[in-house]
Structure 1
Amino acid sequence: MGLRNVRLLWLLGALALLLAIGATRLAYDRALKAQFAELNDRGANTLTLAAASLSGLLSRFERLPGLLAEQAALRALLRNPDDAGHVYAANRFLRENAERSGASVIYVMDHNGITLASSNYDQLRSFVGGDFSFRPYFTEAMAGGLGRFYAMGTTSQKRGYYFGAPVDIGRDRLGVVVIKIDLEQIERAWAYDGLRIIVTDTEDIVFLSYRSDWLFHTFGALDPARLALTRETRRYADADIGAIEHIRDTAPGGHAVLRAVAHDGGREEFLALRTYMPRAGWTMQVLLPTAGAYQQALALVSSVALALGLLGLTAFSLWQRRRQLAERLAVQQAAAAELEARVAQRTSELKSTNIALQEEVAERRMAEGRLRQTQAELVQAGKLAALGQMSAALSHEFNQPLAAARNYAENAAVYLDRDRVPEARDTIGQILGMVDRMTRISRHLRNFARKPNEQLRPVPLVDAVSGARDVLAWRLDKTGVTLELDLGVPAPVVTGGLVRLQQVLVNLISNALDVIEDGAEDRRLHLCASQQGEMVEITLRDHGPGVPEALQARIFDPFFSTKEVGKGLGLGLSITYNIVRDFGGSLRVANHPQGGAVFTLTLRAASLETVEAAE
């Protein structure tokens, strides 16, 4: 890139920055005006509702003094102010009406301003006997009108609004009925709603405020004449009237704002909206903090600026990428010739490599064939080894009953020669028992060797265990191992196949016998079964060294064996695992806390009724 292009780029960047700053400032002003307009609308609605609620509260009590002035109990009291009975009746009457209407206090004064009866007659700060002739509501009512006045009570020290109505009997004006309304309840309601509302009286003194430190203070200079009038009427009793430090200004859009000292000593700004309440002569103001408006405008402008910045950055990135792309195209065109020259060379190399790869694939296929043949030979060798062990077992198992049968036959011949027929008959019975035993062993071994095609059905666990025990009886006797059974009463019924379940049990017991034959001191096997809901759990525990944790995950893999070379091919537990999985069950191994391995066989439970139906 040339020097001229660099200068042009810097110039365009500076111009874009100036335009962005100007646009951001303009957008901020517009956003701030919009936020203040929205804040003004919200404040106007709040001001309307607050003024209506306050006016409604005053209107609710405005006619009540005139109605009470017509009541007989009050008229009787004013005719006979010294009669204790009339005083008591008037006090009770005023108490009931105050509680019913919700007024703070209702009381009756004579024509001199002395309180004769009051709803708070029995309280510590009772109005009875008080002289309130200095209050404007008394003088206005004695003049024949409806007295209105807002002040702090000189007796109760509570702020309230007073309504006074004259009591006329004939042409005589004997006294005044006064109702005091507690406006602090509406101030508390505003505070509960989080509103910032202040109300000033005719002398511009704050008498209702969300801030207690502003009460009985003005937002302007204290007018001596107004201050004297306030003290003459004792509107705020003996409270000190002060001034609130503030600044009034104009916000964007021409809205009036008020800046005053916050509670924490800092400065806070409010959008100030006011309305005049002509009936009471008050001015109500709603103050809305403007900090949120500034933050919203700033956030909006920041978002727009960020979007514009991202847009500019994207445009610059695209321009940069296009420039780099042009450079790459030039480099690619320069390298195209060299690439074409290399293509021919690489093509020939790929051909030779492809030929070598095909030859390697052919060799791998031949190796896989040899591997499969080797695996088949290993399986066959395992079968031959199993047949060798089985033939030895058969030889041992059949030789004993054959030798016994021969001895019994010789004895039977001797008994027959001696005409001892009963003894000969018993001896022949022994020979038949030996034959039955060999037949039973032959049947179990034949079933064990046969490849079953049976479907899953209910199998009594007792039958499977009995068959497996008959097949392995010769090994149990030879090794001196005791097979302890705990199948429960009644023994459970499982879902599976009788022959294959016998094969599973034979494999598991045979493995346990192999472990015990290696020199275990405790020569016991524990075969237990228990039904757990819809499943039957069968455990076989030995007292050998157990299975190392590192080998437990591989013990069911094909061709994996922990025995010495020549003592097994590692297929027994793998076959057993697959049979159990076909039954819909599971097989796992763990070590017992007191020593030895525990094989846990879990099968689905069946019922005896299902067995009988299947038969």
Structure 2
Amino acid sequence: MTQSVKQFNSNNKRTAWLYVVIAFMCLIAVWRVSEVYRQQQLTSLKSNSEIQLNQLANVLESAIAKYQHMPILLASNDRVRRALFRGIPTDINLLNRELAQINRITESSDIYIMDRDGLTIAASNYDEEATFVGKNFSFRPYFQEAIKGREGRYYALGTTSNRRGYFFSYPVYFNQTIVGVAVVKVDLRQFEKRFDTQSYEFLLLDPDNVVFSSSRSDWLYKVMGELSHDELTRIADSRRYKDRVIETLPIVSVRPVDQIASIVELLQAYSDDSGRESFERRSYLKMSQPIQLFGFKVVLLKPLQSLNDEIVLWRAIFAGGVIITALLAGLALLRKRMLQERSDAIEMARHNQAYIREVIQNTQAGLVTLDDKFCIESFNPAVEQIVGKPLSDLIGQPLEMLFFCTPSYLHFWGQMTDKADSEIEAGGRFITIEGELIANSSYAVPVEMTLCELQLPKRRGYLVTFHDMTERKRYEKEITLARQALEERVRDRTGALEEANDRLRQEVIEHKETQEELIQTAKMAVLGQLSAGLNHELNQPLTAIRAFSDNSLKFLEKGRIDQVEMNLQQISQLGHHMGDIIARFKVFARKGDVAPRPISIQSALNGAIRIMSSRMKEGQIELSGLNDCPLMVMGDMVFLEQVIVNILANSVDAIEDAKPQRRIIDISACTVEGSKVQLAIHDTGPGFSQSDLSRLFEPFFTTKSLGVGLGLGLSISQRIVESMGGEIAAQNHPQGGAEFYVTLPAFFEHEFVEVRDVAG
């Protein structure tokens, strides 16, 4: 049976593919035949178009050419010569009327006479509002050619009449001298009207391929092809088309048919019923022919819409016939297939029932079917294997006789059925709970039960699935015991780690206190080095105070109170000066934590310089650089002063040891990277060797003599600067000596205001 089904399906597939191949070949045949028909129609259309093109070219050429000799006849007219030579108004008036009469007879557009300067003295439109009389056309090439004694020809858009025309000109002689120019303008609109009712469109292209005349007004002054910038500039400078913008014809594509014809697709604008402008693509058969007499080219565009519609209709009719035939064949095949599928379905149903019975009987999960009252209808052998006893006596009994859980499974199923359909998952209504299969009064098997509703055609039923959980429960118990043991080990390990962390925190606190003491010791060491200078600074004002005091006593004995008052003022000033010196050293000597706040670079420099001033005086060292630095940084004033004092002390020591001719310490500051301030201190000492530079900031490293300094100044300075969020570096200056850089975060006033507002 299975073999016959496969054979039938194979035959159906081959038949279907045969129909597809036949339909495809029919469509190809339709396409090829329509292409042949299209080519024949194009050949016929091209022959007719070629005849029409020749007629169009001949009509245009003869219609314009018949006016080319009129300027010669006008130039030989005695009235024209007299009017140009004498310029008498009576002659000019007679000439105007005669030109108007000639214009009506010849059906030209305009006839006018210009003098040697290009000024129009008489014209056929003398009595019209847009008359040429009094207008100067000396800029036109046809005038420039005629005034040189040659016949002139030109085409352009009239600057006065605003009408397109072809111009013929000829010089007017009087006694062998050119006295003026006669011009005849041919209006091309009269020719365009002749072809309004034709079944084709035409274009008259000038030598630059600009449309000068056309059966469609919206194609005028557009170029067929592309023009360079120089060509567009030349056309604009000639004022040939006045102020018209030269655009490109909306040509979508060009496909050549042969050497003399091609198919052109153009975008054409049209207005729908609502007045909104839209565009559509239209195809034309394009043929062209030059008009040698004028240098023009006439292009004929034959619409292909009717031909295309005919081809499409022919293809649609033939394709419709093929499709209808294919559909009828398909319906016959479908009916045959439906009959075969019905037979196959019956056989498949028998097969599936047998297959399902085998699956249920041999599955390892316990399966039980229930009726609409949750009573046992059937079960598979796997349930009896789980329980370990036969269950035939439970047929028709409630499921509670076999399965037990708390609360009852009916409680969970009631909660499920109370939910709305939108709350039910994609799998349908089902519950999964844990319970026990009752083997006997003293033994129960732990299981996981899944209850789901069966979609039966005529009644309601339920399917229950049991999975033995004995092994899983045992694994869960083992995992629980292992987790408890692990938690106990983690608690022991955590206690040990906490003790180690407490010891580490204590060591960090002790290290920080040691570091602070080391910084304070470095400060006191600097103060010890500066003690001699401090004595000198205080000794001078003390000596002056004693002198002023002795003089005051003598002045007091003599009754010179005013001198006594002046001496007392001097003594007070000296006392304040001594107080400032002592206060500065007190501030420098105090302890403190780094609390970044806005500080002035200049204030820190002034404090450090006051402390180091006595040593720099002793060493005859000159200080140059900053006087009024406005830059601010984030840091601690005392710590920054200590860093500057350490650097200045090293510079003073280096200069005193080297004893150079120039004893200068230069200080400068600038903003770097937009958010940092860099302070540079350069001395004229000997500088550093390369090996010293690499170890400069190591603790206890010094380049001074034995017993002079501990080598901690720069190491402590580095820690202070880094604690303020900055960097310190040193290098040899290109002009000699050492140079230290201290870089700190810059402070901007608006940032401080924003931070203060947020804190508030």
Q: Report the TM-score range of the alignment, normalised by the length of the smaller protein.
A: 0.3 to 0.5
Highest relative contact order (Cα 8 Å, sep 6+), 1 or 2? 1
Q: TM-score, normalised by structure 2?
A: 0.39
Q: TM-score, normalised by structure 1?
A: 0.47
